[in-house]
Structure 1
Amino acid sequence: MIKRELELAFAAAVREAQRRRHEMLTVEHILYALLYDEMGSRILMSCGADIGQLKTRLDEFFAENIEILPQNDEREIVQSIGVQRVLQRALMQVQSSEKNEVDAGDILASMFEEESSHAVFFLKSQGISRLDILNYISHGSGADAAGECPSEGCERRRAAQETAAPQQPGMLERFTVNLVEKARAGHIDPLIGRAAELERTLQVLNRRVKNNPLFVGDAGVGKTAIAEGLALKIAQGEVPPQFADKEIYAVDMGTMLAGTKFRGDFEARMKAVINELQQKPGAIMFIDEIHTVVGAGATSGGSMDASNILKPVISSGRLRCIGSTTHEEYKNHFEKDRALARRFQKIDISEPDIPQTIEILKGLKPYYEKHHEVSYTPAAIKAAAELAAKHINDYFLPDKAIDVIDEAGAALNLRPESKKGRSITPHDIEKVVARMARIPARSVSSSDKVQIQNLEQALCERVFGQDSAIASLATAIRRSRAGLGHPDKPIGSFLLMGPTGVGKTEVARQLAAVMGIQFVRFDMSEYMEKHTVARLIGAPPGYVGFEQAGLLTDAINRHPFSVLLLDEIEKAHPDIFNILLQIMDYATLTDNNGKKADFRHVIVLMTSNAGAREMATASIGFGGGAVEVAAHKGMRAVEKLFSPEFRNRLDEIVMFNALSGEIMEQIVDKFVQEIQAQVAARKVTIRLSEAARAWIARNGFSPEYGARPLARLLQNQIKNPLSDELLFGRLTGGGSVTIDLCPDAPAELKKDSTHSCLTLSVA
């Protein structure tokens, strides 16, 4: 069987013969194609061939010795007898050596039997013999692999190698970057903070054995920056004397893997790099994304990979190695290979908080000011850290804050001279964050204080009839934002109590909209069974899906500034309340990977219908004390359902009242305005008569379901006939429609009735 690469080389030889309009495919055509083949050229160069000279002599041979066919002669190319003999000998050679495929080396070795051909003459004139080719096939290093020099080609090759050796880059120059030299050249930014992590790194590197630090942290928190910062401190002489002469070499795994077509190529490069590093007493190897080493170079089903080459070297202390990886990759690769994991000392690199990020940005500010030819105000630096933490949730500080100031500088630098300002202000930062987070600019630019000051008014304009509940909620949030709350707890933890359909979930949704933060909702009816608790924080090892993060912890890690709604909390399994105790007390939750989710910037809202029935029966009748009695009965029901330790960790239990007729009319107006917004693009205006408004409010309310039936009533009585008019009737080109009550409309509409009780008058 012929190897795929060799088939391509033969096809190239045929195309070359056709291009030159030759009648036959000769041995010289095959040699010419092999000069362009990767394996063929590598073998010949290893045996001392001058590839360029061979190409030139073959070109001259084709031009002077082979007849060219006329232009109108389109006969097929046929193989010469010499080519057929070469192929036959190569096949016999492969069969005798028990190989599976014929490759370029077999063809070159068989070619030497054609002693009368010009191809063999050209090869021999460069001192290459058949034995050179066979030695390379057997040992991979040409004729001198066996310690002898059977031909003058070996002598020529050795002399050429000795002459060219100083010009050829070594393995370290090809596959690594000297970070200390890079720092001396001024191409590394300074490391701000991270003193504890840097000290721990130096301690590990100074050990006798297992002196290999492994940085584990989220993408963008500064793992690579610590290694580069260490190199910068070595270059500046700011390290203990034991590290004054050390050099850090960053291995480029992409370059090392590139072009490794054959089994063993990658391992050979890796071994060569390690050997050269071991010859340098002060060398420290740094492998970024070290999880790519696990499995690199391994064949399918094989156990040998690059990590097994590293293990004996790094465990003995002969070579120091620094690695970096993420929590997920550490769990997926290192925890499965315990022998590799125990040779490294894990150093957790956590995300810096906002004050630390501001200090990092201040340290990097001169470099970005010089690059973009702008200046950053202190307020802009502070805004970059705060707004990036609040609105950009795809990656982590300080990386995303650095991206913000970098992009703000780039945007200002690209402006025309007439519009270009000298300094970047918080307003510029706000526009950049809005673009990067893909959110409206007003959500970023509006002041947080203004939002909180007008929070109660804004919520009352969107949710009707719950002024007292909204006031309690807004007061607690203002208290927390004023700094009078506990710094290690969520912004607020509230239990929203009341009948169904009165606006508990809507308050949570509108609170997130008004404050411009993410709304995260979990329906706790999905977590009624014990085993579903693991979905929130992730399954433990050994269970299906344990590689995946928990739904709750993952949502908060992606949206650290958010409103978290746990809907219908009374339906959740009791074990979930134990998780909530930790959240409400310490604002942290640890997932199955050991990674902590931070709830300090989260508003936790839980809704419940517990006590709704008792509140409804107590509020029947007249008198000023009816509401107080209903609230008291509702609280007693809450005390029965929720444990004392759960209730004591709540900031407040907010009671929602049942809706009245006046409130229902306001809700009707809100829903009709939403319909008006939907049809505004079709140039249609809607007017609702007072009679229709009162009738909809009366029939859209249910003591049992609150305002939930209203949406279904509007769909049947307004949206369905309106859609026909918009598509096929009098409103296809726009117009004004007045909705009025039918004269024969019943005062109380029967349940599930689809009888039309409203009229649509189009003008």
Structure 2
Amino acid sequence: MTKKEEDFNYKIDLDLMRQGAETLRNDDGFSFPDEDEDGLFADNDDDDDVRDNASKNTSSANRRQVNTKKKSKTPIIDHFSHDLTQAASEGKLDPVVGRSKEIERVIEILGRRKKNNPILIGEPGVGKSAIVEGLAQLIDKQQVSGLLFNKRVVELDMTAMVAGTKFRGQFEDRIKGLIRELEESPDIIVFIDEIHTIVGAGNAQGSMDAANILKPALARGVIQCIGATTLNEYRNSIEKDGALERRFQKVIVEPTTAEETLQILNNVKERYEEHHHVVYSDDALQACVKLADRYVTDRFFPDKAIDIIDEVGSHIHHSHSSVPQPILDLQEDIVKVKGCKQKAVANQNFELAASYRDQQAQMENRLESMKLMWERGEGEEVLPVDEIDVAQVVSRMTGVPVERMEEAESSRLRKMGATLKSAVIAQDKAIDTMVKAIQRNRVGLKEPNHPIGAFMFLGPTGVGKTYLAKKLAEQMFGSADALIRVDMSEYSESFNTSRLVGAPPGYVGYEEGGQLTEKVRRKPYSIVLLDEIEKANDKVFNLLLQVLDEGRLTDGNGRLIDFRNTVIIMTSNAGTRQLKEFGRGVGFNAGSAHGNLLDEKDKEYARSIIQKSLSKQFSPEFLNRLDEIITFDQLDLDAIKQIIDIELKSLFKRVEDMGYHIRITDKAKEFVAVKGYDVQFGARPLKRAIQTYIEDGVCELLLGDSLTAGETIVIGKNPNKDELTFTPQS
């Protein structure tokens, strides 16, 4: 290679390096010298013919383009941050309501001589970032003290600061450049959302993280910083570093009240109405606050209420948003014209094809303009949003049936007793006791931090304790799936107790959550059925004391589980064995072989035996926290006959779905009741009797050839034999 060729390659490489340096300086915020002081890019050969003309022209054009740009005093801040003050002046920020105290506290901290760096601490969704936006709006309107006049509030993007720093020292160079620009621009206040991310940010082996680089500048007071983080992240990241914590002044941000949240919704609704092309009624906004407060328990005001009005607006807009008919008609016409054009081309009639082409072009232009108008919402009908729409959206968000939200609470409570009595037979006294306790609690007479109700159901097997819990779940929460059933016999040993709330850190299953707490966290509106509570270990009762008293329980992950919207039902057979030893049943009609009712003396004796047994098995502080201890009466033969009607409804429906009708006589019903009645086991043998005496006979008739579609199956009692008859009738 000749010397001339070597010089040519050398100068081409220098030219590429110059272009790369200029790109990095202007795009990535790196600082390079404006002039080539060291002569790194100097040309040592005056022979311009050696240089390639194309490369020279490209390089000079790039240099001219860079030189024409207006140089900023803060290129790193401009590149890695968002100016909130400018956004406020352009009207891009939502109005901030109900946070005047917090904003005033932030302004006071910013006005301090030293340690003038506020940090906003609060739960997710309480409005920490909104407070900074409110500060930016006040600065823009100059409604602050003179110290903050002409200040700029910029939000720093820490993710962008870290991104692209491939080599050691690049991240540190960016942070130092940021600090240098902030020192040279005292009018800038930097806001770092999720400020806990600076701890460890950019920390590679042998290097420093962003927090340690920022500490000296924060201590000297040469830069001002506003941070925002959650309580947990502050405790885990900031609080552990005492040197970093002392450089910030805490501002605790509490969730807004229902009244403040409603005021916030009234102030921001215009933005959402404009976006979704809807109009919110006052009742809809009140429903957003009320339903969010009651049904969305794992999030905080005002965020959860704003999410509801946003989602209900989107739901209404999209449910009524369909392509206008003129656009559909025009699209069909374009398809027809295309077909005619292709047919003309196939027939080599190019003049006609050209006319179709022009017609198609005109129609497509008109279609584009119509689509543009439709997408912009021009001429679109503004749709109303009412409280029913809000209830439907909250129902989808929480899983609570919409009917329960729309129906008035007082109306549902009034109907509860009659509805349960029609489903649960012969337990009217138990139902009345439970319903009265729930009514007292729901109308507001109970302590606000207690569960809706806490009951202990006593009685022998098969009398309807679990069945009543299922029906209560349907009545209160709309579905039997709202019943959370926990078999307490699985927690008879002390080492199994932790499974209820989840294993502690370091143990197997720590991340899985507790079998009770995780279910309640996912279904906060539910019936919690603790079956056979007397078999649980004593440590379980210590956990339940907190639930019954404060309505909350902390799981293994440190999360606070809310039990205030649950009904806690415990079942027990306490006293049953003691009464049997004296030849009596629990409550409960065992003194009569024919199922006659006990007199008041026998009932009083049974209650005394039960109370003595309860006192031995459960501590007084546990029993005192229960709303009611409810004793279930044993079922008599009349009750079994009524239960038959309920059990046969589902069987008859299945038969009718197959295309047949079915009817049973009173004598046949009494026959099944006698066969399915057992003093000791209650109603459980009845289902087996129905399977044996009714379902088997119906199955045999359906498999035979004597039954045709539409006929009625008549179930009767054979007078000569101890069996039922199944006769088809047209």
* TM score, norm. by length of structure 1: 0.69
Deviates more, 1:620-629 or 1:262-271: 262-271
Equivalent of 2:268 in 347, 364, 382: 364
| Residue in structure 2 matched with residue 445 of structure 1 by the alignment | 406
Determine whether 1:643 maps to 2:619: yes
Q: Deviations over 1:408-438 (max 9, x none)?
A: 3445556489996775332232233334445
Secondary structure at 2:290 match in 1: helix
Letter of the aligned partner of 1:670 in structure 2?
Answer: I
CA contact (8 A) 1:132 1:142 kept: no
Amino acid of the structure 1 residue aligned with 2:435: A
Alpha-carbon separation, structure 1, partners of 2:386 and 2:472: 29
Q: Offset at 1:456?
A: 0.5
Specify the SS of the correspondent of 2:623. helix
Aligned residue number for residue 459 of structure 1: 420
Q: Alpha-carbon deviation of 1:176?
A: 1.0
Q: Which residue of 1 aligns with 2:350?
A: none
**SS at structure 2 position matched to 1:217:** coil
CA gap 1:490/1:151 in 2 versus in 1, 3 angstroms: closer
Residues 264 and 731 (structure 1 numbering): CA distance in 2 closer, same or farther, change over 3 Å? Answer: farther
C-alpha distance in structure 1 between counterparts of 2:233 and 2:707, whole Å: 58
**C-alpha distance in 1 between matches for 2:711 and 2:166:** 73
Show the counterpart of 2:126.
221
Q: Which residue in 2 is equivalent to 1:633?
A: 609
Asked whether the 8 Å contact 1:489–1:586 carries over to 2, the reply is yes
Who is 2:388 aligned against?
427
Q: Distance between the aligned counterparts of 2:250 and 2:678, measured in 1?
A: 60
Question: For residues 236-291 of structure 1, what are the alpha-carbon distances to aligned partners after superposition, in whole Å with 9 as ceiling and x for unaligned?
Answer: 44545554554332223454455555565555444444443343324333333445
Equivalent residue runs for 1:246-257 within 5 Å: 246-257=151-162
Preserved CA contact (<8 Å) 1:614 1:630: no
Q: Per-residue displacement from partner, 1:711-738 (whole Å, max 9, x unpaired)?
A: 4555566667878988x87799976674
Matches of 1:167 and 1:746, distance apart in 2: 107
1:656 aligns with 2:632: yes
Identity of matched residues, %: 39
Asked if 1:572 corresponds to 2:558, the answer is no
| Distance of 2:661 and 2:387 partners within structure 1 | 41
Whether 2:83 is the aligned partner of 1:178: answer: yes
Aligned residues: CA RMSD: 4.7
Partner of 2:591: 621
Q: In structure 2, what is the equivalent of residue 501 of structure 1?
A: 462
Amino acid of the structure 2 residue aligned with 1:431: Q
1:166 is paired with a residue whose SS is coil
User: Using a 3 Å threshold, how does the CA distance of structure 1 residues 682 and 743 change in structure 2: closer, same or farther?
Assistant: closer
- Farther-moved stretch of structure 1 (660-669 vs 421-430): 421-430
Partners of 1:172 and 1:276 within 8 A in 2: yes
Aligned to 1:99: none
Shift of 1:385: 1.6
Alignment correspondent of 2:369: none
The CA distance in 2 between the partners of 1:514 and 1:338, in whole Å, is: 54
Q: Which residue of 2 aligns with 1:469?
A: 430
SS for the counterpart of 1:152 is: coil
C-alpha contact 1:523 1:568 (8 A) present in aligned 2:
yes
Shift of 1:529: 3.3
Structure 2 match to 1:110: none
1:672-703 residue CA offsets vs partner (Å, 9 max, x unmatched): 32344556654455544545533444444544
Which of 512, 524, 527 pairs up with 2:488?
Answer: 524
Counterpart secondary structure, 1:706: coil
Q: How has the CA–CA distance of structure 1 residues 373 and 469 changed in structure 2, closer, same or farther, with 3 Å as cutoff?
A: same
Deviations 1:324-377 (A, max 9, x none): 445665676667877766766666655445444334323333443455555433
For the 8 Å contact 1:567–1:607, the answer to whether it is kept is yes
1:389 matched to 2:293: yes
C-alpha spacing 1:221/1:719, structure 2 compared with 1 (3 Å): farther
Contact persistence 1:390–1:560 (CA under 8 A): no
**C-alpha spacing 1:129/1:549, structure 2 compared with 1 (3 Å):** closer
The change in CA–CA distance for 1:192 and 1:159 in structure 2 (over 3 A counts) is same
Structure 1 residue 468: Cα displacement? 0.9
Q: 1:159 to 1:412 in 2, by over 3 A?
A: closer
- Would you say the 8 A contact 1:331–1:593 is kept in 2? no
Q: Map 1:298-337 to 2 at 5 A.
A: 298=203, 305-314=209-218, 317-326=221-230
Q: CA deviation at 1:451?
A: 0.8
The answer to whether structure 1 residue 283 and structure 2 residue 188 are counterparts is yes
Q: What is the deviation of 1:653?
A: 1.6
CA 1:724/1:339 → structure 2, altered by over 3 Å: closer, same or farther?
farther
Alignment partners' CA distance in 2, 1:715 and 1:225: 65
- Could you tell me how far apart the structure 1 residues matched to 2:395 and 2:196 are? 34
- Report if the CA contact (8 A) 1:610-1:638 is conserved: yes
* Contact 1:393/1:558 (<8 A) preserved: no
2:38 is matched by which residue type in structure 1?
A: E
Aligned counterpart, 2:15 = 128
Q: Which residue of 478, 483, 491 corresponds with 2:444?
A: 483
Deviation of the 1:182 alpha carbon: 1.6
In structure 2, the residue corresponding to 1:501 is in which secondary structure?
coil
CA distance in 1, matches of 2:142, 2:707: 79
State the 1:460 CA deviation. Answer: 1.4
| Letter matched to residue 149 of structure 1 | G
Deviates more, 1:338-347 or 1:563-572: 338-347
- Rounded to whole Å, the distance in 2 between the matches of 1:419 and 1:722 is 60
Alignment check: 8 A CA contact 1:394 1:558 kept: no
Contact map agreement 1:701 1:709 (CA 8 A) in 2: yes
Q: Hey, what does 2:474 align to over in structure 1?
A: 513
Over residues 531-583 of structure 1, what are the superposed CA-to-partner deviations in whole Å (9 max), with x where a residue is unaligned?
A: 44444445555655656665555555554444333333223332333333333
**Conserved in 1, the CA contact under 8 Å of 2:277 and 2:381?**
no
The code of the aligned residue for 1:209 comes to K
SS in 2 for 1:496: strand
Secondary structure class of the residue paired with 1:628: helix
In 2, distance between residues paired with 1:206 and 1:684? 85
- Take 2:610 and 2:407, find their aligned partners in 1: how far apart are those partners? 38
Alpha-carbon offset, residue 498 of structure 1: 2.0
Cα distance, 1:445 vs. partner? 1.9
- In structure 2, the residue matched to 1:151 is 41
Do the aligned partners of residues 149 and 732 (structure 1) sit closer, same or farther apart at CA in structure 2, a change above 3 Å counting?
farther
Distance apart, 1:587 and its partner CA:
3.1
Q: How far, CA to CA, are the matches of 1:593 and 1:239 in structure 2?
A: 43
Query: Match of 1:51?
Result: none
Deviation readout 1:617-638 (Å, 9 max, x if unpaired): 2543255122333233222222
Shift of 1:177: 0.9
Q: Distance in 2 between matches of 1:525 and 1:698?
A: 33
Residue in 2 that maps onto 1:665: 641
Aligned to 1:604: 568
Contact between 2:115 and 2:248, CA under 8 Å: does it hold in 1? no
Change (3 A) 1:280 1:373: same
Tell me the number of residue pairs that the alignment of Structure 1 and Structure 2 aligns. Answer: 635
Instruction: Give, in whole Å, the separation in 2 of the partners of 1:580 and 1:272.
Output: 57
SS at match of 2:15: coil
Q: Which runs of 5 or more residues in structure 2 are unaligned?
A: 25-29, 45-55, 325-378, 593-597
- Checking the alignment, whether the CA contact within 8 Å between 1:730 and 1:762 is kept in structure 2 is no
Unaligned runs of 5+ in 1: 1-112, 748-756
1:400 aligns with 2:287: no
1:455 Cα deviation after fit: 0.7
Any residues of structure 2 matched to 1:38-77 within 5 Å, and which?
none
Matched, 1:189 2:86: no
SS in 2 for 1:449: helix
For the residue of structure 1 that corresponds to 2:70, the secondary structure is helix
Contact 2:400/2:477, CA 8 A, preserved across alignment: no
Which segment is superposed worse, 152-161 or 198-207?
Answer: 152-161
Report the residue type matching 1:128 in the other structure.
D
Which SS does the other structure have where 2:440 is aligned?
A: helix
**SS state at 1:454 partner:** helix
1:452 shift after superposition:
0.7
SS in structure 2 at match of 1:654: strand
